[in-house]
Amino acid sequence: MYTKIVPALAAVFFLAGCASDPEIQTGDDAEVIMGNLHKVDNSRAQMAYLDPDANLGKYNRVLVRPLGVDKIEIIQPQRSTSVAGNRDWELTEADKQALQVMFHEVMVKQLQEKGGYEVVDEPGDDVLEIAAMITAIAPSGPKDDNKSRPVGRSQVYTEGAGSIAVAVAYGDSETGEVLGLAKDSRSSNSYWGSNNSVSNKADVRRMFTSWAIGIREGLDRVHGKK
C-alpha cells in the first residue's frame, strides 16, 4: 500500500521533482526503519525515509548541526596527461572547515534571512534539527594547488567543479526523534570553463544553496506562506 506525500512535506525533505508523486509505503509490507520511518518511493532523492505522522507545522525555528565532513569518499577525477604531476585529490582539515563554514552561512541566509526561520544554537519545542553530512565528493579535475598542478601548467578546463552527495537527518531537537532521512546528490553546472579554487567554491556554494532553498520553500508551504 502507498500514501501520497503532502507536497509541502515532500519539499522540506527534498523528495519532490520526479514525474510521479512521491509515495510513502504503508501496510504490513512497508519497509520501515528505526520504528517510525517509512520508505518513500518515487522520490527525487536517491534514498528517503519519512515519518508519516510528522507535523512540521510546529517548527518555527531551526537548529543546524555542523556539517559532517569526517567520512567523505573522494571519487578521484580522471587523470589528464595535459596536467603533469597531478595526484590524488585530498581534503585537508582547512578544506573541511571551509565546507562547514560555507554550509552554515548558506543555511542561515536561506532559512533565517530569507525565510524568517531563526537559526538557533539550542533545542526547543518548536525547533527543527537538521544534521547533514557529506558522503562523497567527485571533483571534475585535479585539485587547485601546487602539488597537483605544477607551476606553469595550472590552467584546467572542465564542465563545472563536479558533484557532491549528502545524507540529511531531520529531527525534533527536543525529543531527539528522527522525522526523516534522505540521501541526495547535486552536480555543478555543465558549462565548460576554467577549473580553479574560486570557481569550485562558487559551484559548491550553489549546490549547498539549492538544498537550503528546497528546505526553506518546503517550510514555507507547511506554514502557509506564498
CATH at residue 184: 3.40.50
Full domain range(s) for residue 178: 60-217
Task: Say what the pTM is.
Answer: 0.82
Query: Are 40 and 48 in contact, with CB atoms under 8 Å apart?
Result: yes
Residue length, the chain?
226
- pLDDT at residue 161 tops 70: no
Say how many domains are in the chain: 2
Name the amino acid, one letter, at 92. Answer: T
Percent of the chain with pLDDT over 70: 75
Band (2; pLDDT cuts 50, 70, 90): low
Query: Are 162 and 149 in contact, with CB atoms under 8 Å apart?
Result: no
Q: Looking at residue 57, what is its pLDDT? A: 87
Q: Is residue 202 part of a domain?
A: yes
Mean pLDDT of the chain, nearest integer? 82
Domain's final residue, options 14, 33, 54: 54
- pLDDT at residue 131 tops 90: yes
Q: Is residue 225 part of a domain?
A: no
Per-residue pLDDT tens for 141-151? 777 565 655 55
Q: Is 168 exposed, middle or buried (0-12, 13-18, 19+ CB in 10 A)?
A: buried
Q: Which residue has the higher pLDDT, 92 or 86?
A: 92
Band (186; pLDDT cuts 50, 70, 90): confident
